[in-house]
């Protein structure tokens, strides 16, 4: 990630560049397509594009990816760190915006049962008997419901910021293309040198 800022200090350092020119291996006079300096510049720009792509991805990736790279890891992490308020917010979003997957089609009666176990039974319109509620036991009892909510949330949030992710993919592909060019050039030159050089 830090290569775009400090890479030129390394790759364009006279000592380092001398070591990675491959002149002793293939000889500068055997260049087919690229000179040693051109190969070095291709490597620099390739790594720079990859570094910039990684930086953008870290800041623009969907928030759910910070808690898990797939829905199962995300659900496992959220089971350990979430609160009742988190579940209430997720449920409200699912019911307000609609569900995208079958996981979002759980029954409201099951959700209300979870709230009774987590926060306590309702004793009035806006009151609950909090002494009868236990958050940790409610999580164990209603784990299937919570996982359904997390799976639905993961899918929903993972759909966001698609344009940023596509941009990162494009930058990465450009970076790999820059790295591929000098790599294939060195490969061809080493092969030619091994096959046709005089003993």
Q: Mean pLDDT in the chain? A: 81
What pLDDT, on the 0 to 100 scale, is given for residue 87? 93
10 Å Cβ neighbour count for 159?
Answer: 10
Length of the chain: 199
Per the DSSP assignment, residues forming a β-bridge with 128 are 122
What pLDDT, on the 0 to 100 scale, is given for residue 10? 53
Angle at 151 (CA atoms; ends 112, 68), nearest 5 degrees:
130
Check whether 30 has a pLDDT greater than 80: no
Per the DSSP assignment, residues forming a β-bridge with 122 are 128
- Domains of the chain, by residue range, sit at 3-61+162-196, 66-158
Distance, CA of 24 to CA of 39 (rounded, Å): 15
Supply 196's token pair.
């046709």
Check whether 142 has a pLDDT greater than 80: yes
Give burial (CB, 10 Å; 0-12/13-18/19+) of 14. Answer: exposed
Point out the least confidently predicted range of 11-25, 37-51, 113-127: 11-25
pTM higher than the cut 0.85: no
Query: 152, 132, 145: which is closest to 79 by C-alpha?
Result: 145
CB 97 within 8 A of CB 160: no
- State what percent of residues in the chain have pLDDT above 70: 81
CB 178 within 8 A of CB 46: yes
- State what percent of residues in the chain have pLDDT above 90: 30
Give per-residue pLDDT as tens, 101-122: 999 999 989 999 999 988 888 7
């Amino acid at each position: 990630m830090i290569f775009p800022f400090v890479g030129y200090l390394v790759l364009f350092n006279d000592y380092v560049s001398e070591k990675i020119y491959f002149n002793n291996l293939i000889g500068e006079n055997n260049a087919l397509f690229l000179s040693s300096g051109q190969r070095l510049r291709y490597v620099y720009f390739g790594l720079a594009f990859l570094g910039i792509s990684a930086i953008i991805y870290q800041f623009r990736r969907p928030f759910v990816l910070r808690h898990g790279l797939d829905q199962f890891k995300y659900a496992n992490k959220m089971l350990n760190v979430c609160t009742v308020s988190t579940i209430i917010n997720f449920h409200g979003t699912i019911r307000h915006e609609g569900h995208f997957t079958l996981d979002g089609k759980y029954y409201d009666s099951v959700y209300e049962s979870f709230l009774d176990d987590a926060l306590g039974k309702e004793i009035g319109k806006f009151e609950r008997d909090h002494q009868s509620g236990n958050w940790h036991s409610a999580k164990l009892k209603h784990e299937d419901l919570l996982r359904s909510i997390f799976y639905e949330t993961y899918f929903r949030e993972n759909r966001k910021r698609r344009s940023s992710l596509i941009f990162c993919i494009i930058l990465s592909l450009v970076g790999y293309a820059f790295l591929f060019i000098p790599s294939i050039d060195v490969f061809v030159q080493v092969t030619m040198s091994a096959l046709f050089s005089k003993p």
